[in-house]
Amino acid sequence: MALKRLAFSDLSLSYTRELVMNYQALQQKLMELQDLVGEGLVDALFPASEQWADTFRSLAATINGDDFDAETLREVLRTGIT
């Protein structure tokens, strides 16, 4: 709640500019991702061009259906990683 207040200038604290900028960037990214499902979501989070994403993409490929949501993806990743 404090970050939101800082972002909307309802609260002012010294030395928080970078924190607020990061918070605003995160909020923007969440808005961009909120309607993505299935492969579009996986591609946005784990680009095929990045080697580090291969494990995550492999786990996501085990999900049945093409319109899974972020919660389903999170659960498959959580169980696959642990």
Indicate whether 45 and 11 sit together in one domain: no
Q: Which domain holds residue 54?
A: 38-81
pLDDT of 41: 97
Indicate whether 42 and 26 sit together in one domain: no
* Total domains in the fold of the chain: 2
| CA dist., res. 44 & res. 37, Å (int) | 10
Indicate whether 10 and 28 sit together in one domain: yes
25-42 pLDDT tens trace: 999 999 999 999 999 999
pLDDT of 43: 97
pLDDT of 76: 97
pLDDT of 1: 85
Please give the model's pTM, rounded to 2 decimal places. 0.77
Indicate whether 28 and 44 sit together in one domain: no
- The DSSP string of 35-82 is T--HHHHHHHHS-TT-GGGHHHHHHHTTSSSS---HHHHHHHHHHHH-
Question: Which residues in the chain show pLDDT less than 70?
Answer: none
